[in-house]
């Protein structure tokens, strides 16, 4: 059982985490949800389309202008509080690697800390434990936040993913983070080249077999773009194909830009796998 905020999710229940970037320079939407009104409209749309988690980020993942902890908090804390007020049942996640930001957003009502940079600030897990929040434990290959990989190598990338994420997860539980609120993430593109991310996808079942719920952040990423030689705005089909494979292999949480499309893919895979009945079953019965 995965438990986040007020919500519980069964072992075969796919969960959508919708991305809401509070940045003026996000790689995908170039700041479309930087201001409060469009960001809140995005939350409402995502929830309507089937997202159970809203993932709020105040710093773009890639290189760019420096964003201080104070500025990151300014972009996220008040917004977290407003989302909590308007959508009391939605799970609020904040994408941050900084403990001081984690503290502020948990105080404002966040349920989950999405540590996409793999424990670079070890105090973030302590914050999650103190507030009873969930934690995403990600493999980033030891990369510093907001840096791109350069000639990174692994003897076995999946073995390294397992070593790092399981270590982070067990440490989080030892610190007091509820075990049922800890997820592991292979960290597609983070500290990895395209072949590494493809192998992590192909062998995703090895992460699922650990028993920890697996989160994948695939949406429109560079490994999809390089695989198909497509620019950012033409990666949706590749993303959805990768989502279907990940769902078949047992991933549970999907961090996405396109909520409605992802919902259909996940429902179709779940139904083929026998975990969900068809929405309608009239054919051959009339």
The one catalytic residue among 42, 192, 221, 235: 221
Distances, alpha carbon 121 to alpha carbons 98, 126, 276, in Å: 6, 10, 39
Task: Respond yes or no: is residue 86 known to be catalytic.
Answer: no
* Residues 6 or more apart in contact with residue 129 via CB below 8 angstroms: 172, 175, 176, 177
Q: Is 221 a catalytic residue?
A: yes
Set 35, 255, 263, 283: catalytic member: 255
The label of the residue with tokens 């509080």 reads 81
Q: What is the 3-state secondary structure (H, E, C) of the chain?
A: CEEECCEEECCCCCEEEEEEECCCCCCCCCCCCCCHHHHHHHHHHHHHHCCCEEEEECCCCCCCCCCCHHHHHHHHHHHHHHHHHHCCCCEEEEECCCHHHHHHHHHHCCCEEEECCCCCCCHHHHHHHHHCCEEEEECCCCCCCCCCCCCCCCCCHHHHHHHHHHHHHHHHHHHCCCHHHEEEECCCCCCCCHHHHHHHHHCHHHHHCCCCCEEEECCCCHHHHHHHCCCHHHCHHHHHHHHHHHHHHCCCEEEECCHHHHHHHHHHHHHHCCCCCCCCCCCCCC
Q: Annotated active-site positions, please?
A: 221, 255
């Amino acid at each position: 059982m995965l438990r986040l905020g007020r919500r519980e999710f069964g072992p075969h229940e796919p969960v959508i985490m919708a991305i809401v970037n509070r940045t003026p320079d996000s790689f995908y939407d170039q700041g479309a949800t930087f201001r409060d009104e469009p960001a809140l409209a995005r939350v409402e749309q995502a929830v309507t389309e089937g997202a159970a988690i809203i993932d709020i980020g105040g710093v773009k993942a890639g290189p760019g202008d420096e964003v201080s902890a104070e500025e990151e908090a300014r972009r996220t804390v008040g917004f977290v509080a407003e989302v909590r007020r308007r959508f009391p049942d939605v799970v609020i996640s904040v994408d941050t690697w900084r403990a001081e930001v984690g503290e502020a957003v948990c105080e404002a009502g966040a349920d989950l800390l999405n540590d996409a940079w793999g424990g670079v600030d070890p105090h973030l897990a302590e914050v999650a434990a103190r507030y009873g929040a969930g934690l995403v434990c990600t493999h980033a290959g030891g990369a510093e936040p907001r840096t791109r990989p350069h000639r990174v190598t692994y003897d076995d990338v999946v073995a390294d993913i397992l070593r790092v994420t399981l270590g982070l997860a067990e440490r989080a539980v030892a610190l007091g983070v509820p075990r049922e609120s800890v997820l592991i993430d292979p960290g597609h593109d983070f500290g990895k080249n395209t072949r590494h991310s493809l192998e992590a996808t192909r062998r995703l079942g090895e992460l699922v077999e650990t028993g920890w719920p697996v989160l994948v952040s695939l949406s429109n990423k560079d490994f999809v773009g390089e695989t198909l030689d497509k620019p950012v705005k033409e990666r949706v089909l590749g993303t959805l194909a990768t989502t279907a494979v990940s769902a078949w292999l047992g991933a549970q949480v999907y961090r996405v830009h396109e909520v409605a499309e992802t919902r259909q893919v996940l429902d179709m895979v779940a139904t083929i796998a026998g975990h969900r009945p068809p929405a309608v079953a009239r054919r051959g019965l009339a």
